[in-house]
Amino acid sequence: MATEFKILETDNDAEGRPCQLSRRRFLQAAGVGGATIAMLTIPGCGTMMARTIPLPRQSVAKLADLKVDRPVTISFPDPGAKCMLVKLGVPAGGGIGPDGDIVAFSLDCPHMGMTLIGSYNAKHKGLGPCPSHLTRFDLTRYGIVISGHATQSLPQVTLELQDGEIFATGLRGLIYGRTQNLG
Ligand code: FES
């Protein structure tokens, strides 16, 4: 486990930026029941590991209703947890749908919990800057930090598509301020 953690801390993309995955999240990967360890491949960053926590399956949208760069706010896995579902228009890590471009993320900044509602950046396919400390997140690469104070990626909602309906099935990461994702 210690060796794997060191690899994550020193992994950089082609521009020398650290390919950050939550340090806290990775350490927590050691053992929560029901969680699975997923291998994530991020362009330019190689492969890393993340914990995916399965949650009660929930319908969140119809595929036909989504438009490129028109994010919708959903509540998952409970009414107190706001997330954003968006069709990016470009393939993304963890993306679903015919174009692999539909993703969803927690809207609670993993730095200190400020809401990221309304901060979607269509040009850069990201969230942010966060109003508190200006962190920006890349939604095409599993929500990694691209600038700012946060050191953890945005928790990503795992999605499934069935008969034109989009379901949220779990979270890759822990929602800010919680000890478990389901409140
Ligand atoms: S709360 Fe978002 S960067 Fe600090």
pLDDT at 47: 46
Looking at the predicted structure, is the pLDDT value of residue 40 above 70? no
Q: Where does the pLDDT of residue 18 fall: very low under 50, low under 70, confident under 90, or very high at 90 and above? A: very low
**Cα-to-centroid distance, 148 and ligand 1 (Å):** 8
CB 38 within 8 A of CB 29: no
Q: What are the Cα distances from residue 143, in Å, to 28, 135, 147?
A: 18, 11, 12
- Write out the two tokens for 87: 């069709």
Q: Is 127 in the pocket of ligand 1 (CB under 6 A)?
A: no
- The protein residue whose alpha carbon is closest to atom 1 in ligand 1 is 112
* Chain segment 166-183, per-residue pLDDT in tens: 999 999 999 999 999 987
Amino acid making up residue 30:
A
Best of 22, 111, 176 for a ligand 1 pocket test (most atoms within 8 Å of beta carbon): 111
Q: What's the 132 CA to ligand 1 centre distance in angstroms?
A: 5
Verify whether ligand 1 is closer than 6 Å to residue 115 (CB atom).
no
Atom of ligand 1 nearest to the CA of 113: 1
Average pLDDT over residues 41-45: 49
Spatial CB neighbours of 111, under 8 Å, sequence gap ≥ 6: 130, 132, 133, 135, 148, 149, 150, 151, 152, 176
For residue 102, the 8-state DSSP code is E
Instruction: Say whether 172 sits in a helix, a strand or coil.
Output: strand
What is the predicted pLDDT for the residue at 7? 31
**Which residues, at least 6 apart from 2, have a Cβ–Cβ distance to it below 8 Å?**
none
The answer, yes or no, to whether any atom of ligand 1 lies below 6 A from the CB of 129, is no
Tens digits of residue pLDDT in 121-147: 999 999 999 999 999 999 999 999 999
Report pLDDT digits (tens) over 78-109: 999 999 999 999 999 999 999 999 999 999 99
- Fold of the 2-172 domain: Rieske Iron-sulfur Protein (2.102.10)
pTM comes to 0.78
Contact, 107 vs 137, CB < 8 A? no
Average pLDDT over the chain, rounded to an integer: 82
Does 135 sit in the ligand 1 pocket, CB within 6 Å?
yes
Contacts of 42 (CB under 8 A, 6+ apart): 13, 19, 48, 93, 141, 142, 144
